[in-house]
Amino acid sequence: MKWLATYPERCVGCESCMLTCSKTWFKEENKELSRIKVLQKDSGYEINVCNQCGICIDICPTLALNRDASGVVRCDENKCVGCLMCAGFCPTESMFIADQKDKPFKCIACGICSKECPSQALELMQD
Amino acid sequence: MNKMKLLAEWEYEPVKIQRGYAGRTLYVNVGDFSFKEKPVSEDMKEKFIGGRGFGLKLLWDAVKDTTKWNDPENELVISGGPLCGITQYPGSGKCYTVFISPLTEQTYDSNAGGHFGPLLKFSGWDALEIQGKADRDVIVFIDGDNNKVEIYESPFEDVNAFTVTEALHEYFAENEEDKRNISVVSTGKGAENSYWGCLNMSFYDLRRKAPRLKQAGRGGGGTVFRNKKLAAIVVRKRGIGPTSNNPADLSTLQKVGLKLHKEIRDLDDQQNKMRKVGTPHLNEIMNEYHLLPVHNYKFGQHPEADKIHSEVFGKLFTQGIPDGCWHGCSMACAKAVDGFELKTGPLKGKKVTVDGPEYETCAGLGSNIGIFDPEWIIEANFYADHYGIDTISSGTGFAFVCECYELGFLNKDITNGLELKFGSKDDLMELIHRIGRGDDEFARIVGLGVHRMKKIFAEKYGAPFEVMEKIGMEGQGIEVSEYVPKESVAQWGGYFLTLKGPQHDEAWLIFMDRINKQLPTFEDKAEALHYFPNFRLWFSLVGVCKLPWNDIEPADNVIKYKGIEAAKVPEHVQNYVDLFNAVTGKNITKEELIIQSEQVYNFQRVFQLRLGKGTRKDHYIPLRAIGPVFPDEWEARAEYYDNELKATGIDPEGLTTEEKIKKLQEYRLPQWEQLVDAVYKRRGWNKNGIPTIETLERLGIDYPEVVEVVKKHLKPEDEWEE
């Protein structure tokens, strides 16, 4: 299974992961549209990204969420009706919504952000 | 299935939904195969909002003062409402059926989940009006993809719900994947043979690969359906998505919806466990508080009730499936039993998926008839749906029959061999099948409902009418919906001061009134009987479900708010205000929300008046609804009732139980009259329960034809003294 490992203690908060992500998948540099979220906390940074646990698969009423051959949980846009149950029930709240988008979105473990990260806080893993 | 014979077709122009409305309604006459498109005016949206409001408005325009339920001009109107079909907020796929009821002979409205309401709207129609009577069984097909309506000759010899629904999902879908885009409305033979006909509205369960049935159960809509010779109404619309309803403000819908999903995720297991057991979570609560109807509402508790507790049903329901009846319903209370092997009837031996049972079915076709066997309840639930019979009315109706049987008013000669005592499982199941088959005279009489049974049992079998009047649990012609109201004065009103009879969709005030003692005066009770019926009616205008309002509450609801305010669940009320504004682009407040409801509440009250009902005499209450009728009822809670008597200033010492019962009735009946007065005043009605002209004017529903109906019935002696 492919998934993105995070090392928040190494994060410097440069946000390049978020900008790269949104640029890659939504053709727009906009943190709101990123599938990975970095939040500043008192003690440093928190990185919120899907760990591909798959709980959302059983929550989805329209069978829009499935694992692909790499084990990554992906959303079939044609089946998704934007009900947001997946977002509401995600244990890590890593299924995101944004004002401009009528459907939720999540990390699909492409690994592009990990290449952009200057501090090795992200690593694409393959179990 | 062979190709069906097309009898008529009509094409229409596609339309884009604008802020929750298609802006037009569809009229289909199955008698002469005519079709019409009717525009929805701004005034109609302002005054009637949608859903049940549209249904009542269209029905008003369609019928005469003298129209009966089985006249061709009676209609079945189905309408969702402006919020119906949004995918972001739990419980947003409801639609409402409106018709003149065979049971109550006045307007009735009954709601169902399933996908019919949303797919109808997204096919371009805010409402569907069916009028006329066909000369043979027909199927109406609304093809929302190709913008046409077709009427087919029904090929079904067996019009029962599961048969018809399964076949039509198959027939109209191009492949398995396409079945999700279809919804079927159906009923069954039992609806033809009784006045208890329900409507089943389907959605296709993608995981079970089977259609599921949600019921508009009450009032006899299924009976009207079959009287029109409808075998089914089908809608197909592909490509439903997050913006199909074209809301003014999608972002707010998403935020409000996501917030509630998280509340349900975090709190449902601690609160009502709707996701695991659905409404049967109430089974043990009602038993604990003496509210579970047992033996025709004689008692509120039973030692065997633990056999039907929610834990038992939780094990029978398949877990882990998103059981919402419309997209986005994370409350997921549409529970089902899978692989259930039927033990009786025409489908004996078949393994089926059974929807439910809901609480009211467990109580009606369970405790109320002395049966505490979950497998029996599931089987009865299946056949009731299949035959198109309301489980609530039939439950209360059978309970009445059992008590009459045990009192000796009925015997095996009358029942054609059935021993209909409480708990007679085999014979009661056979009674359900006899209603389904329609081949037994006694079963046909039973299916006419308690109101008519009282008269027929007296006239035909010599049963004492005055006793049956006391124990027949019905109001306005329809059976009480499975909560024991005896000990809550406010709930007497919650059931019997209603628009259409004792159904729990107006007000459920028992805890507030009796347990928490938050409604001490008649004015307090009247205020609750103004606010809650109107607030809850609003769900029926916009197309959403009541359950996500207060079957889940914010964690701090009872900390932040006290008493009645807490019972209103203010944050969820605000959710609805936000949703309405986000869809329609309007800017209503929570106070204006109540006024929207009041407009329709009072319109419907005048409609009942127009049809010859709707006055004080129609708000009658049976004695069993206000206290014990027979000594065993008193003696089951002797200490409690003795104390009740003492609290009225009467010393029970030395009185026989019969005397005590009489004394309590003599105390409570004037209380009922006081309640009626207080409620009528608060609602802006006169002493006879008729909305005053001032009330109509205040609500802007003083249309000439409405005022004319009211004026005909206004009398000076019915005015309140200053």
Tell me which of B177, B208, B256, B258 to substitute to probe the interface with A (most A C-beta atoms closer than 10 Å).
B258
* Residues contacting B379, CB < 8 A, separation 6+: B340, B342, B343, B344, B429
Residue pair A56/A90 in contact (Cβ under 8 Å)? The answer is: yes
Sort strands A37-41 and B6-11 into parallel, antiparallel or unpaired.
unpaired
Q: What radius of gyration, in Å, describes the C-alpha atoms of chain B?
A: 24
- One-letter identity of residue A11: C
Question: Do B518 and B404 reside in the same domain of the chain?
Answer: no
pLDDT in tens, B358-415: 999 999 999 999 999 999 999 999 999 999 999 999 999 999 999 999 999 999 999 9
- Nearest-CA distance from A10 to chain B in Å? 31
Q: A82 vs B87: CB contact, 8 Å cut-off? A: yes
Which helix or strand (DSSP H or E) is residue B217 part of?
none
pLDDT in tens, B88-142: 999 999 999 999 999 999 999 999 999 999 999 999 999 999 999 999 999 999 9
The secondary structure of residue B279, as a DSSP letter, is: G
Residue of A nearest to B247 (CA): A102
* Residues contacting B708, CB < 8 A, separation 6+: none
> A with B: how many residue pairs have Cβ under 8 Å apart?
69
Q: Which residues pair with B185 in a beta bridge?
A: B201, B233
- What's the mean pLDDT in B579-594? 98
Supply the mean pLDDT for chain B: 97
Q: Which residues of B touch A85 (CB under 8 A)?
A: 261, 322, 324, 328, 330
Question: Do B340 and B208 reside in the same domain of the chain?
Answer: no
Q: Which residues of B touch A82 (CB under 8 A)?
A: 87-88, 241-243, 254
In chain B, which residues touch A (CB < 8 A)?
A: 87-88, 180, 206-207, 240-243, 250-251, 254, 257-258, 260-262, 264-265, 320-322, 324, 327-330
Q: A81 vs B242: CB contact, 8 Å cut-off? A: yes
Q: A62 vs B180: CB contact, 8 Å cut-off? A: yes
Percentages (nearest 5) of helix, strand, coil residues in chain B? 45, 15, 40
- Nearest-CA distance from A74 to chain B in Å? 18
Residue B153's pLDDT band (cuts 50, 70, 90) = very high
Q: Which residues of A touch B241 (CB under 8 A)?
A: 80-82, 102
- Nearest-CA distance from B144 to chain A in Å? 18
* Residues contacting B556, CB < 8 A, separation 6+: none
The closest of B587, B14, B624, B596 to B299, measured between CA atoms, is B624
Question: Do B301 and B382 reside in the same domain of the chain?
Answer: yes
Q: What radius of gyration, in Å, describes the C-alpha atoms of chain A?
A: 14
Domain boundaries, chain A: 2-126
Residue B246's pLDDT band (cuts 50, 70, 90) = very high
Under DSSP, is residue B44 helix (H, G, I), strand (E, B) or coil? helix
pLDDT at B392: 98
Residue B356's pLDDT band (cuts 50, 70, 90) = confident
Q: A89 vs B265: CB contact, 8 Å cut-off? A: yes
Residue pair B199/B256 in contact (Cβ under 8 Å)? The answer is: no
Q: Is residue B273 part of a domain?
A: yes
End-of-domain residue from the set B236, B260, B277 = B236
Q: Which residues of A touch B265 (CB under 8 A)?
A: 88-89
Q: Which residues of A touch B251 (CB under 8 A)?
A: 99
pLDDT at B1: 87
Q: Which residues of A touch B119 (CB under 8 A)?
A: none
Which helix or strand (DSSP H or E) is residue A122 part of?
strand A122-126
Question: Do B403 and B368 reside in the same domain of the chain?
Answer: yes
Residue of A nearest to B243 (CA): A102
Q: Which residues of A touch B261 (CB under 8 A)?
A: 84-85, 87-89
Residue whose structure tokens are 């046409």: B148
Q: B320 vs A84: CB contact, 8 Å cut-off? A: no
Question: Do B149 and B276 reside in the same domain of the chain?
Answer: no
Question: Do B415 and B333 reside in the same domain of the chain?
Answer: yes
Which helix or strand (DSSP H or E) is residue B58 part of?
helix B52-62
Domain containing B124 equals: 6-236
Q: How far apart are the first and last CA of chain A?
A: 5
Tell me which of B86, B88, B318 to substitute to probe the interface with A (most A C-beta atoms closer than 10 Å).
B88
B695-712 as b/e: b if 16+ CB within 10 A: bbebbebebeebeebbee
End-of-domain residue from the set B433, B454, B479 = B479
User: Does A100 have pLDDT greater than 90?
Assistant: no
Identify the CATH number of the domain in which residue B698 sits: 1.10.599.10
B357 cis-preceded (ω within 30 degrees of 0): yes
Q: Is residue B241 part of a domain?
A: no
Domain count within chain B:
3
Q: Which runs of E-coded beta strand occur in B169-268?
A: 182-186, 199-205, 210-216, 230-236
Residue A48 token pair: 């919120």
Q: How far apart (Å, rounded) are the C-alpha atoms in residues B716 and B62? A: 32
Q: B327 vs A62: CB contact, 8 Å cut-off? A: yes
pLDDT at B722: 75
Identify the CATH number of the domain in which residue B173 sits: 3.60.9.10
B236-250 as b/e: b if 16+ CB within 10 A: bbeebbbbbbebebb
pLDDT in tens, B161-204: 999 999 999 999 999 999 999 999 999 999 999 999 999 999 99
Q: Which of A61, A88, A103 sits opposite B242 (nearest CB)?
A: A103
Residue of B nearest to A97 (CA): B254
Q: Which residues of B touch A54 (CB under 8 A)?
A: none
Max distance between CA atoms of chain B, in angstroms, equals 78
Q: Which of A59, A99, A103 sits opposite B322 (nearest CB)?
A: A59
Sort strands B199-205 and B210-216 into parallel, antiparallel or unpaired.
antiparallel
Q: Which of A61, A63, A97 sits opposite B258 (nearest CB)?
A: A97
Q: Centre a 10 Å sphere on the Cβ of residue B252 and count the other Cβ atoms it contains.
A: 17
pLDDT at B297: 98
pLDDT at B671: 98
Residue B307 token pair: 């056999």
Q: Which residues of B touch A102 (CB under 8 A)?
A: 241-243, 250
Q: A102 vs B251: CB contact, 8 Å cut-off? A: no
Q: Which residues of A touch B250 (CB under 8 A)?
A: 102
Q: B243 vs A102: CB contact, 8 Å cut-off? A: yes
pLDDT in tens, B450-463: 999 999 999 999 99
Q: How far apart (Å, rounded) are the C-alpha atoms in residues B106 and B120? A: 26
Percentages (nearest 5) of helix, strand, coil residues in chain A? 25, 20, 55
pLDDT at A19: 98
Residue of B nearest to A96 (CA): B258
Question: Do B35 and B153 reside in the same domain of the chain?
Answer: yes
The closest of A110, A59, A3 to B264, measured between CA atoms, is A59
Q: Which of A81, A88, A102 sits opposite B250 (nearest CB)?
A: A102
pLDDT in tens, B13-38: 999 999 999 999 999 999 999 999 99
Residue B393 token pair: 């009315």
User: Does A93 have pLDDT greater than 90?
Assistant: yes
CA distances from B645 to A51, B299, B634 (A): 65, 18, 11
Q: Which residues of B touch A89 (CB under 8 A)?
A: 261, 265, 330
Question: Do B311 and B361 reside in the same domain of the chain?
Answer: yes
Residue pair B92/B102 in contact (Cβ under 8 Å)? The answer is: no
Q: B88 vs A84: CB contact, 8 Å cut-off? A: yes
Q: Is residue B468 part of a domain?
A: yes
pLDDT at B114: 98
pLDDT in tens, B60-94: 999 999 999 999 999 999 999 999 999 999 999 99
Q: B206 vs A61: CB contact, 8 Å cut-off? A: yes
Q: B261 vs A89: CB contact, 8 Å cut-off? A: yes
Residue pair B222/B201 in contact (Cβ under 8 Å)? The answer is: no
Q: How far apart (Å, rounded) are the C-alpha atoms in residues B528 and B518? A: 10
Tell me which of A55, A66, A84 to substitute to probe the interface with B (most B C-beta atoms closer than 10 Å).
A84
Question: Do B595 and B461 reside in the same domain of the chain?
Answer: no
User: Does B347 have pLDDT greater than 90?
Assistant: yes
Question: Do B497 and B577 reside in the same domain of the chain?
Answer: yes
Q: B322 vs A61: CB contact, 8 Å cut-off? A: yes
Q: B327 vs A83: CB contact, 8 Å cut-off? A: yes
> ipTM value of the model?
0.97
Question: Do B280 and B226 reside in the same domain of the chain?
Answer: no
Q: Does domain A2-126 have CATH number 1.10.1740.10?
A: no
pLDDT at B57: 98
- Nearest-CA distance from B544 to chain A in Å? 15
- Nearest-CA distance from B322 to chain A in Å? 6
Residue that wins the pLDDT comparison between B61 and A100: B61
Q: Which residues of A touch B258 (CB under 8 A)?
A: 84, 87-88, 97
Question: Do B454 and B585 reside in the same domain of the chain?
Answer: no
* Residues contacting B609, CB < 8 A, separation 6+: B615, B690, B709, B710, B713
Please give the model's pTM, rounded to 2 decimal places. 0.97
Residue of B nearest to A78 (CA): B239
